[in-house]
Amino acid sequence: MFDATTRTLVVVGAQWGDEGKGKLVDVLAEKADWVVRYQGGANAGHTVHIGNKSRVLHQIPSGILHEGVRCAIGNGVVMDPETLFHEIDKLVADGIDVEGRLYVSERAHLVMAYHKLVDKASASSKAIGTTGRGIGPAYEDKVARRGVRVLDLRSPDRLRELVTAGVARANWSLERSGSSERASVDDTIAALNTLAPRLLGIAEDVGLCVHRAIKSGAAVLLEGAQGSLLDIDHGTYPYVTSSNTTVGGAATGVGISPMCIQYALGVVKAYTTRVGNGPLPTELDEPLQSEVRALGNEFGATTGRARRCGWFDGVVVRYAARVNGLTGLAVTKLDVLDTLEQLAICTGYRVDGELHVEFPADVGMLERAEPVYEWFEGWQRPTQDVRQLEDLPSAARAYLDRIEALCETPIAFVSVGTRRDQIIGGHAGV
């Protein structure tokens, strides 16, 4: 994927998250010099399966598992220092050397303990089905220009001022939510002061580091979190996360020019999942939904919640391809469909008697949408050991060809298992 001309590449989820971004980043990071997260926070759960061990990364870029790859957390991320050091310590305990190759933007906003309390208690978070990681409240403070950034840890007076105001607001919100939890200024500051020396030790001007890396010809991979349909602007608002998950967010969230990004890889499952509330037009009926959930082990990597499962939605991915300007698709979890007798791909929605082939902005319309399906024969053969596109059963190839045509984007990878080696492709239009 990285070659003489493609040096900066972004990996984005093109559905509702959990598409297998962690696996693709891990595969691509083999040839990367830098892997950088640009938005979201510990709401992400990116699974990487190496040998017999499966690991879930929440804030640290998945590239950390490749020795020598430098990793960074960009300014667009809302960073939870407690979770970060917990993750770092776990990696180090497993013999993975993190020191000297993980950086955090000094401009990144901090997720405070009180953001998590508010996220867990608020009725609006419950209605959306958030991960409870404090993401929405932290981005709210950022946009309201009262957030705490990594660099504020260098200024004790300013830190106390910001935290005092933050705690007051949080306690007011907790009281309104009927929660008995309360945050404390002194406890919050004490916890931050304990982590500050470690955090400031890895704080950097990440935009400048990545800019210099790009200028020197390094291979730079930008790792998206969540998915395009959870984007604050382009997703199924208000059932979204609070950041720009799409390719545009990669440039602002790292601090580089959008003109630097040469390839956008959209990761999609061969079907659809969503965790949390909000419309999912192709959601399967029971008992098929539970069957697909069991086949795909569709339980959240962050919260353990059961993921809702649906047929592949061509309207969604076509939209994601447009909004992100996808160069290529990585279709994951094809193997999960191996035993099904027949499969469907959604090509449009019928809403109030009218056919829509472009994704509607109105969540009410999406809730009323009746999917229009094309049906495909199942291949009913194992695909996990296939490594060449031409060795896939012809029914599987027909299914993938239709996805490619509908989304008007070449398939660059097909993933047929959780492991690193269970992958087909590496060139656009394999």
What residues make contact with ligand GDP under the rule CB under 6 A?
13, 17-23, 45-47, 49, 301, 332-333, 335-336, 415-418
Closest alpha carbon to 266 in 79, 77, 63, 403: 403
Omega before residue 410 within 30° of 0, cis: no
The answer to whether residue 226 forms part of the interface with ligand IMO (CB under 6 A) is yes
Residue whose entry in the numeric block shows the structure tokens 């510990």: 42
Q: Is the N-terminal amide bond of 281 cis, ω within 30° of 0?
A: no
Catalytic residue among 3, 26, 33, 46: 46
**Consecutive H or E run containing 158:** helix 156-176
CB of 131 to ligand IMO, least distance (A): 3
d(CA 347, CA 326): 19
> Cα 279–59–309 angle (5° rounding)?
25
> Is 391 one of the annotated active-site residues of the chain?
no
By the 10 Å C-beta count (0-12 exposed, 13-18 middle, 19+ buried), 4 is classed as exposed
Given a contact cutoff of 8 angstroms between Cβ atoms, the answer to whether 218 and 9 are in contact is: no
Give the residue with the Cβ less far from ligand GDP, 58 or 149: 58
Give the integer Cα–Cα distance in Å for 248 and 228: 11
Of residues 169 and 308, the one with the C-beta less far from Mg ion: 308
- Residue 45 CB, shortest distance to Mg ion, in Å, is 4
> 165 Cβ partners below 8 Å, 6+ apart?
146
- Could you write out the DSSP letters of every residue in 319-344? HHHHHHT-SEEEEE-GGGGTT-SEEE
Site for ligand IMO in 109-148 (CB under 6 A): 128-131, 133, 135-136
Amino acid at 135: I
| Active-site annotation holder among 18, 26, 33, 231 | 18
Q: Is 12 in the site for Mg ion (CB under 5 A)?
A: no
Pull the structure tokens for residue 249: 């967010």
Site for ligand IMO contains 282 (CB under 6 A): no
Contact 211, 50 (CB under 8 A): no
On the question of a cis peptide bond just before residue 382, with omega within 30 degrees of 0, the verdict is no
- For the CB of residue 269, give the shortest distance to ligand GDP in the complex, in Å: 8
Check binding of 276 to ligand IMO (CB under 6 A).
yes
Query: Smallest gap, in angstroms, from Cβ of residue 359 to ligand IMO?
Result: 18
Instruction: Give the integer Cα–Cα distance in Å for 360 and 365.
Output: 7
Distance CA 298, CA 275 (A): 9
Q: Which does 135 bind (CB under 5 to 8 A by kind): ligand IMO, ligand GDP, Mg ion, none?
A: ligand IMO
What the block records as the tokens of 55 is 């690991």
**Applying CB under 6 A, does 325 fall inside the site for ligand IMO?**
no
Q: At what angle do helices 394-407 and 314-324 cross, to 10 degrees?
A: 50
49 binds, among ligand GDP, ligand IMO, Mg ion, none (CB under 5 to 8 A by kind): ligand GDP
CB of 368 to ligand GDP, least distance (A): 29
Q: Which stretch binds ligand IMO (CB under 6 A): 10-18, 140-148, 156-164, 263-271?
A: 10-18
Is beta strand 220-223 parallel, antiparallel or unpaired with respect to 109-110? Answer: unpaired
**Of 40 and 371, which has the nearer Cβ to ligand GDP?**
40
Smaller CB separation from ligand IMO, 302 or 383: 302
Pairing of strands 220-223, 411-415: unpaired
Residue 45 touching Mg ion (CB under 5 A)? yes
Nearer to ligand IMO, 153 or 225 (CB): 225
Q: Is the CB of 369 or the CB of 416 nearer to ligand GDP?
A: 416
State yes or no: is 115 an active-site residue: no
Whether the CA torsion 4, 249, 165, 175 is positive or negative: it is negative
> Is 249 near ligand IMO (CB under 6 A)?
no
Least distance in angstroms from the C-beta of 113 to ligand IMO: 16
State which residue, 47 or 272, has the beta carbon closest to ligand GDP. 47
CB of 173 to ligand IMO, least distance (A): 15
User: Closest distance between Mg ion and the C-beta of residue 20, in Å?
Assistant: 8
Per-residue binding letters, 13-32, with ligand IMO (x by CB under 6 A): x---xx--------------
Of 158, 133, 130, 132, residue with least CA distance to 146: 158
Identify what 129 binds: ligand IMO, Mg ion, ligand GDP, none; CB under 5 to 8 Å per kind: ligand IMO
Between 225 and 351, whose beta carbon lies closer to ligand GDP? 225
Residue 26 binding Mg ion, by CB under 5 A: no
Q: Which residues bind Mg ion (CB under 5 A)?
A: 18, 45, 301
Q: Which residues bind ligand IMO (CB under 6 A)?
A: 13, 17-18, 43-46, 128-131, 133, 135-136, 225-227, 230, 241-242, 275-276, 301
Active site residue ranges: 18, 46
